Amino acid sequence: MKLALIGYGQMGKMIENCASERGDEIISTIDPYSPQAKFPQITAESLAGADAAICFTQPDSALENIQKVLQCKVPLIMGTTGWTHQIKQVRAWVQESGVAMLYSSNFSLGVNLFFRMVEEATRIIEPFDLYDVMGTEWHHRLKKDSPSGTALTLGGLLLENLSRKTSLVTERLDRQPKAEELHFASVRGGAIPGTHQVLFDSEFDSIELTHRARTRKGFAYGSLLAANWILGKKGFFTEKDLMDHLLYG
Ligand SMILES: NC(=O)c1ccc[n+]([C@@H]2O[C@H](COP(=O)([O-])OP(=O)(O)OC[C@H]3O[C@@H](n4cnc5c(N)ncnc54)[C@H](OP(=O)(O)O)[C@@H]3O)[C@@H](O)[C@H]2O)c1
């Protein structure tokens, strides 16, 4: 595969390393702030010859980057988080463009297996009212958005499968949570690549499910798998579509 990397920060560089191990070729690196990148802007020229583009930049540039890549008719793997409040708009752009885009809040295979486990665990807990549920996520001190996209995905899964919870609260609570509120808290500091925990808690015991990323390499590897899968497709996809394919063919 010939790939363009949009954003040449920690993730962009990790994907470059992983790509060469897999025999994929990075033909373009695009970043207005990195002097090491080949191009400063997303244009037809900087995307020329790319089978797909992989984007890991900053939340505030996400929507503009998506639009530009779609205008150039290049399939897009979107790893940047913090923009999904605009997901309806993005789906419409993808539909109009006739190009494929895949977004994942977390490209790690382990996290996606974790999503399936949490979903199943939540279905098992559903009839047992004595268990309350909550979550935490921990990330390095340089992460710019909060809560993490992965926490939002987990929150969504929990609300979908647990009828006694109807709203996700991610901000600090200076009051008691209401029974129907699901609290998901964020912690920032150190060099943690990403830890997510879901707790089912009763007066008698606590059941904790934790995913702990060890390095960013898992995200890079997953984004390359996604780029390979999206070739020849049209429309808006998420990691769930890719996982369904990996699990069930
Ligand atoms: N989906 C996943 O699996 C996953 C995994 C890890 C991280 N992420 C997300 O990916 C994003 C990047 O993470 P990171 O750790 O790689 O951050 P990072 O090291 O800060 O890298 C982001 C890079 O993109 C650059 N950039 C900013 N605006 C840009 C634009 N308009 N066009 C091109 N490049 C631009 C940044 O420049 P400046 O530093 O000068 O701003 C930086 O070089 C974050 O949203 C993070 O949450 C997702």
Q: List, for residues 27-84, the tens digit of each pLDDT value.
A: 999 999 999 999 999 999 999 999 999 999 999 999 999 999 999 999 999 999 999 9
Ligand 1 atom with the smallest distance to the CA of 60 is: 28
Per annotation, catalytic residue among 13, 68, 139, 196: 139
Cα 18 to Cα 21, 22, 36, 220, 246, distances in angstroms? 5, 6, 18, 7, 20
Per annotation, catalytic residue among 13, 143, 165, 211: 143
Q: List, for residues 168-183, the tens digit of each pLDDT value.
A: 999 999 999 999 999 9
Distance 178 CA to ligand 1 centre (A): 35
Q: Read off the pLDDT band of 146 (50, 70, 90).
A: very high
What does the domain layout of the chain look like in residue ranges? 2-107+216-248, 109-212
CATH of 2-107+216-248, picked from 3.40.50.150, 3.40.50.720, 3.40.50.300, 3.30.460.20, is 3.40.50.720
**In this structure, which residue's CA is closest to atom 43 in ligand 1?**
9
109-212 is classed in which CATH architecture? 2-Layer Sandwich (3.30)
Q: List, for residues 228-246, the tens digit of each pLDDT value.
A: 999 999 999 999 999 999 9
Asked if 27 contacts 50 with a C-beta cutoff of 8 angstroms, the reply is yes
pTM of the predicted structure, to 2 decimals: 0.86
Instruction: Answer yes or no: 211 catalytic.
Output: no
